[in-house]
Every structure is written in structure tokens, then in C-alpha cells.
Structure 1
Amino acid sequence: MRSLSAFVTPAATPPFLCPSRIYPSRPRQNCALRARLNGEKDPLLQEATNAASLRFQETHRPEPLFVDPYAGCFVHPNVQMDLKKYSHHYCLATKFIDDKLLRTVNHIDGLKQVVLFTDGMDTRPYRLNWPTSTIIFDVSPERVFKVSAEKLQGVGAKIPRSCLYIHVPLESSNIQQSLRNKGFNGLRPSIWAIQGSPVMTLASFEELLFSISSLAMNGSLFLGELPAWLAETEVGIKSGTKKWMEKLFMGNGFRVDVIAYDNIAKNLGKQLAPEDYKNILFVAEQLRFSDGQMETWRRELLRVEEEGDEEGFEEL
């Protein structure tokens, strides 16, 4: 594993907020801002920009759930602002995920591993106060990430000192192996989050969940948002979503809880936007051992058998 000391970066620069002009709001369906990024029509770029626009709006609310000092560099200078009293589901989920990530990594001793499945414009690696010795893996569409990285560099965004940021293209033929090749260690605790990552099919998500289950050490957390249509594809009705989630996650070694957006809003003293939001927010805990843990256990068992170490065998 490469030493983190070799990747020390200068301290983060003061927050950068752009564009500088804020325009009065007008009614817009679903509060989704259709800002363009360099005139591109790429749907992945468009969705990532829409999410950045929501974070930009939230940052400029009188009492924001969070502050994203870099979201503005992704949106059009003439973006329409909507600063109504309601909190958007996406922003509530972002706040929930932010808090859970930081609480978890701050309770991990030594090297801390964070894996983020994103739309390519996630600014968490730059805007959150990560503790020393945190390695952040961003798994996202390569073409969106390249645009994002260029814009973030242009506004002086920096990773916190003594942390390491590694990008893994979502298009990789084997995400599991790509993470290992980049230094992910299945013998160390980790926390995984997904928000905005383009999930194309149920089969592709099941494959992703299998990879996370293989890599994540026992006790690791996986949380985030999934599109509701994944559940509706199989169960057909929303009332079966919770049981569907439990079956899918338990089949891969995770105990999962579905989180209600209105409960988050209530706990934060916010009013939830009155709209139909098509995502499921969840937190899951890994109950199985990772492949790395199983391989270590297997080798230790072979050693004990070869040496005839009865005391060691009993400990195993």
C-alpha cells in the first residue's frame, strides 16, 4: 500500500462560490434545474449537473442543510434559484449521508477507507472534513469525472491534508479488481456510499452489491440512495419495497434498514418538499467476512493443521 505521506496536499483554499449572481425563484417542476454544462447533451453530464444545481441552491438557503462551496462551478451562470421553505429529498439525503460518513470514519482507528459511487460531480472528497489517513475511492463515469476534475482544479479545490483521493472508472470491466489494484484492503474497515451513480439495470446493481459484499470487511456500512424502480421492477408495488430490499441485501450478507425521508426532515426541523421522489434511502451493515478475511482465516487454518497447533485450532 502506498504511503499517504507521499500524497500530502496543501491545505484547502477558502470556499469558492460561483456563479456570483443569484436570481429570484419562479415555480419549476420538481425543483430540477436544467442547467447545461458546456452545452453538452450527454444524459450523465446532465443528471450530474442537475444534482450539483440542487446542492448549489441548498448552499444559498438562509439555513442550509449543508454548504457545498464547489457546486456552483458546475452550473450555468444564469441558473434560476428556488429558495422556497421546503427541503428537497435529495438535499436531505445528502445531509444524512454526509453525517453518517463522517461519524463512521471518525470512529475507525488507523487507515480509513471510503468508497463513493457517484455521478462524477460529487464534491464530498473536497468539502467534508475528513480525518487524517482517509483514503477516498470515487467510482464514477470517466467522462463526467474528467469534466468535474478540470472544473474543480480551476477553482482551487483541494483534498484535505494527509488524505488520498483515487478515481476508479465506473466503466471498468471488474470494479472489484480495480479497487484492489488501486489499493483497497479487504482486511481494513470501510464505509461505502452510493448517490447519483447511474444504475442501469437490476442485474448491474446486484453485481455491484456482490462486489461490495466481497470487498467489505465484517461490520462495514453501505448506505445511500437507489432508484425506486429497481424494487418496482420485481415487486410491482411500493408496499413491497422494504421486504424486497431486505431479501436482496440479505442475500449478499447485509442487514438493511430503509430510511424515511420525512423522518430525516422532522429530526432536522425541516419541511419536506411535497413531491413524489423516486429514490430509496437506506443503511446496510455487512454481516459476512470479506474475501480478504476469509483468505486470511483459510491460511491460518492450514498453518494450524500443518503445525498440529491444537490450541491455535481451538482459537480459530
Structure 2
Amino acid sequence: MKTTPCSDQPSIRLLFVSRRPTNEAIKPLFADPYAGCFVPPHTRMDLENPLKHYCIATKFIDDKLLRTANHMDGLKQVVILSDGMDTRPYRLNWPSSTIIFDISPDRVFQKAAQKLKGVGAKVPRNCLYLHVPLESTDIQQALRATGFNGNRPSIWAIQGLPVMTLARFEEILSTVSGMAMKGSVFLGELPAWLAETEFGSKSSTGEWMGNLFMSNGFKVEMVRYNDVAKSLGKAVKPGEHKNILFVSEQLRFSNAQMETRRAEMQEEGFEEH
């Protein structure tokens, strides 16, 4: 997969959240003690409405990741597709035996990892954090080589990954489809321009999303930012965001599950024709 330049804007927005005083009447949705290492100390914060939507999406993804991971038995597999500066592996309270795979631009990830190490960022005890370069010619093979097991449940999240074309996202979705075991969850935030239909019509965008995800085995649901905001006791103005928030479930068997099933059938005396 090819990569594209990514912006520091997500980290700047996280920094704003991490610096807000906790004694304010309105408390931040989440705290990030590490994002500050990515931006200059006197960076001007963006306080416009897009910030609210980004923070709401981040909180939604955080909570869904942790809830799903906590309900997994044994080994937990979490795959994060990001810009290389995602601090979730460090700031979230992951359950024991969680393996976190980061898929992101290698150059950005390595630079960010050094900065995070410099401020003392560490993943929780009994958890493992592994990186897979987005530039890998075969992401599925790279994930397997790193230790990902397609015969076990997994949860995938995308936010901030540099995606410049619809074809590139379709490639990513195909990769997730091939690796994610039946029943696994894929959620996150996508740029609205990916939709081939005119954004602003939820029904047409929802239909486009449904067709695209179902063609890769996923049942998908678009999530309204305003609904998430209300559940958090916040409010946002509709129509001011430029992203699509979604959650989906894999309905197909992963490639690994199919291979395992074929092997079992051969052992049982069945032959392929």
C-alpha cells in the first residue's frame, strides 16, 4: 500500500483535550497525557466545531474498543489503522493479554514512537504493541508474520489513516475482510468524500456504505455524531462534520478460518472437486 503525507491536526486536537483543566464545569471527554509531545509548546488550538466532532468520534471509538476487548476470552487482538501517532495503545486501560497491531506509515510511526518513549509512554503490563508498516506490499502477510491469528476474534479501528482515494479504502476494507474472523468488529471514522453519492443525504450515503461493506462481508451501521454526543451529555451542530462514523460486524469467515475448515474436511476424508 502507498502512503500519503498525514497531518498533525489530530494530535493537536488531542492536545487540546489533554490540557483542559479538570475543574471546568464541562469536563473533557477524555484525557491524553502523551499527545503533547507531537506539537510545539505554543501551538494555537483549534476550538471550532470540527474539534467537537473529532473528540466525540475518538471517545466513541475508545469506548467501543475497550468494551469489545473486555468481552473477548483469552487473547485479545486489536488492530488500529492510524496516521502513525495514535496514542490509544498507551493511554487506554487495555485488559491483560491484549495484542495491539498498529498499521500506519512507517516513517511517521517510528518518529512518533521515539517521542512517546521520551515522555515515558508505555503500554499496560501483560499487553503487546506491534507495528505493521502501511507500505508493506502484502498487509495480510505482514500481519500474519507479526503474529496476527485470523482464527481468533479481533476488533479493528480506523481513524486518521491517510486515505486519498476510494480505491485505496476498498483495498483496506478487503484486507480487513480477509483477516477478520466471523463476528469481529470494524469501526471508526472515514472522510465523507469517499461516498460516491452526495453527502448530506443520510439515506443515500447509508445505502452506499451498506453496499460497499456488504460486498466485503460486513454488516455496517452509520452512527450519528449527535446521538453519540447526547449519550455523553454533549451537543454538536448537525451538518458541520466532514466524516462518517460507523460500526460494522464481519459476517463471513476469515481466510484463516476457511483454510482451517478445508484442512479439517481433508482430515475427515472429504475431497475438493
Q: In structure 2, do the counterparts of structure 1 residues 275 and 80 end up closer, same or farther at CA, with 3 Å as the change threshold?
A: farther
1:235 matched to which residue of 2? 197
Q: Does 1:172 align with 2:143?
A: no
For the 8 Å contact 1:202–1:230, the answer to whether it is kept is yes
CA distance in 2, matches of 1:50, 1:297: 45
Q: Does 1:252 align with 2:211?
A: no
CA distance in 2, matches of 1:278, 1:213: 25
The alpha carbon displacement at 1:306 in A equals 5.7
> Which letter does structure 2 place at the counterpart of 1:246?
G
For the 8 Å contact 1:86–1:273, the answer to whether it is kept is no
The superposition leaves residues 258-305 of structure 1 with CA deviations (integer Å, 9 ceiling, x where unpaired) of 000011111111122577221100000000011111111111112212
CA distance in 1, matches of 2:207, 2:48: 35
1:44 matched to which residue of 2? 5
For the 8 Å contact 2:189–2:246, the answer to whether it is kept is yes
CA distance in 1, matches of 2:247, 2:235: 22
CA distance in 1, matches of 2:50, 2:39: 21
CA distance in 1, matches of 2:135, 2:261: 32
> Which letter does structure 2 place at the counterpart of 1:192?
W
1:310 matched to which residue of 2? none
For the 8 Å contact 1:65–1:91, the answer to whether it is kept is yes
The superposition leaves residues 162-196 of structure 1 with CA deviations (integer Å, 9 ceiling, x where unpaired) of 11100111111111111011110001110000000
Normalised by the length of structure 1, the TM-score is 0.79
Q: Does 1:131 align with 2:95?
A: yes
CA distance in 2, matches of 1:175, 1:84: 36
Provide the secondary structure at the position in 2 that maps to 1:99.
helix
2:121 matched to which residue of 1? 157
Pairs within 5 Å for 1:271-310 = 271-272=235-236, 276-305=240-269
- Which residue, 13, 17, 26 being the options, matches 1:54? 13
Q: In structure 2, do the counterparts of structure 1 residues 306 and 290 end up closer, same or farther at CA, with 3 Å as the change threshold?
A: closer
Provide the secondary structure at the position in 1 that maps to 2:269.
helix
The alpha carbon displacement at 1:57 in A equals 0.8
Q: Does 1:189 align with 2:153?
A: yes
Q: Work out the percentage of aligned pairs sharing the same amino acid.
A: 63
For the 8 Å contact 2:13–2:45, the answer to whether it is kept is no
> Which letter does structure 1 place at the counterpart of 2:5?
L
For the 8 Å contact 2:200–2:239, the answer to whether it is kept is no
> Which letter does structure 2 place at the counterpart of 1:269?
G
CA distance in 2, matches of 1:286, 1:116: 16
- Which residue, 70, 76, 86 being the options, matches 1:106? 70
Q: Mind listing any 5+ residue stretches in structure 2 that lack a counterpart?
A: none
Count of matched residue positions in the alignment of Structure 1 and Structure 2:
262
1:21 matched to which residue of 2? none
For the 8 Å contact 1:189–1:220, the answer to whether it is kept is yes
For the 8 Å contact 1:87–1:272, the answer to whether it is kept is no
> Which letter does structure 2 place at the counterpart of 1:141?
P
Provide the secondary structure at the position in 2 that maps to 1:305.
coil
> Which letter does structure 1 place at the counterpart of 2:34?
Y
What do you get for the CA RMSD once the two structures are aligned?
Answer: 2.0
The superposition leaves residues 94-149 of structure 1 with CA deviations (integer Å, 9 ceiling, x where unpaired) of 00000000000000011100000001110000000011110000000111111101
The alpha carbon displacement at 1:238 in A equals 3.5
CA distance in 1, matches of 2:170, 2:50: 34
- Which residue, 47, 60, 64 being the options, matches 2:28? 64
The alpha carbon displacement at 1:235 in A equals 1.9
Q: In structure 2, do the counterparts of structure 1 residues 137 and 85 end up closer, same or farther at CA, with 3 Å as the change threshold?
A: closer
Provide the secondary structure at the position in 2 that maps to 1:280.
strand
CA distance in 1, matches of 2:199, 2:58: 26
Larger radius of gyration: 1
Provide the secondary structure at the position in 1 that maps to 2:230.
helix
Provide the secondary structure at the position in 1 that maps to 2:164.
coil
> Which letter does structure 2 place at the counterpart of 1:180?
R
